Amino acid sequence: MLHDRLPPFWGLMQELKIIIKGRFKMFSDTTIEGIVSSNPEITTAPDRNICQFQLTINHTPQEGAPSRVSFIEVMISDKNNKRFFDICQERIQKSQKILVIGKISFNRLENNNITEQRIVIYANEIRFMGV
């Protein structure tokens, strides 16, 4: 039977689906810790303001491997939570260590046969880490 081949947590997921009415919100967020590598820039659109900055993530290399660094764009909108937007706009600074929780998006842009790839996190929570 089909249910014999499903992973053991499938039943729990079905129960959660019933409880939260089909919304798997807790499974769709990503959490990333890094260092703010650019001061936030505020962009104004007709229906919202956007606070955008870059997050640097240092990857711990294995022995003998070169170290790697990734850059991720973080965007915060004031459309759903104006207070969160205002706090981030005031408190986020370059060289600050933060934890970002939000939706992740992989964008691929092509311009004049050059492909640019960007990872963007649309933050819904930010935690400021101690030094």
| DSSP run (H or E) holding 116 | strand 114-128
H/E segment holding residue 70:
strand 68-77
Locate the DSSP E strands across 60-111: 68-77, 97-111
pLDDT tens, the chain, 131 aa long: 444 444 444 444 444 444 444 444 445 688 889 999 989 999 888 888 889 999 998 887 778 778 888 889 999 988 878 888 888 888 899 999 999 999 888 877 777 777 777 888 999 889 988 75
Does the global pTM surpass 0.85? no
d(CA 101, CA 59): 18
Domain 27-128 of CATH type 2.40.50.140 = yes
CA 5 – CA 12 distance, rounded (Å): 15
Q: Give the start-to-end residue ranges of the domains of the chain.
A: 27-128
